[in-house]
Structure 1
Amino acid sequence: MRNVTLIGKPGCHLCDAARDTIVRVCSETGATWEEKDINQDEELYRKYWEQIPVVLVDGAQHDFWRVDPERLRRALGA
């Protein structure tokens, strides 16, 4: 099963839009997803602060700032 991770922060409008896309695509494809708050993890903060929201697919960086639903579907094998 494929897994999508959204790395973002509360109050981020781009993160909200990314979450909406991820929820929709994961429900269509059967992939699981999780969300991580960049403010709660020093390593994620150092690595991704200037790119949030960041989307990982199976642990590998897939997108940042904006999530293209078609590109995410393809990455998930749909």
Structure 2
Amino acid sequence: MTNSTTHEVTLLTRAGCGMCERALEQLQGICAEFGIEVGSVDVDAVAATEPGLRAEYGDRLPVVLLDGREHSYFDVDETRLRADLFR
């Protein structure tokens, strides 16, 4: 299933986060159906250059960003994400 609109999906993560690993696997499966590569950003690794990411999202990872905006956190909202990617 592909869509003419290109979206960007990014997962904010932290090393050693089991929930983050599961969310990434789930996102990769969903996004592959739409021909989208999932990006991921470790909020601790980029804290020196982007401290705002860790400050805003660091206590509720994983966070899914769709087109740069928060889409869901802790769990991937698969139904909503599929609907939004189809738009």
Asked if 1:48 is matched to 2:53, the reply is: no
After TM superposition, which residue ranges in structure 1, 4 or more long, deviate above 2 angstroms? none
> Equivalents in 2 of 1:69, 1:20: separation in Å?
12
Report the counterpart of residue 31 of structure 1 in structure 2: 36
The one-letter code sitting in structure 2 at the alignment partner of 1:57 is: L
| Identity score, percent | 33
* TM-score using structure 1 length: 0.91
Asked if 1:63 is matched to 2:72, the reply is: yes
Deviations 1:4-59, CA, capped at 9 Å, x for gaps: 01001111011011101110011011123200001022111001011100000000
User: Higher strand proportion, which one?
Assistant: 1
* TM-score using structure 2 length: 0.82
Question: CA contact under 8 A between 1:31 and 1:76: conserved in structure 2?
Answer: no
> Equivalents in 1 of 2:81, 2:20: separation in Å?
15
The runs of 5 or more residues in structure 2 that have no matched partner are: 1-5
Report the counterpart of residue 22 of structure 2 in structure 1: 17
Question: How many corresponding residue pairs?
Answer: 78
The runs of 5 or more residues in structure 1 that have no matched partner are: none
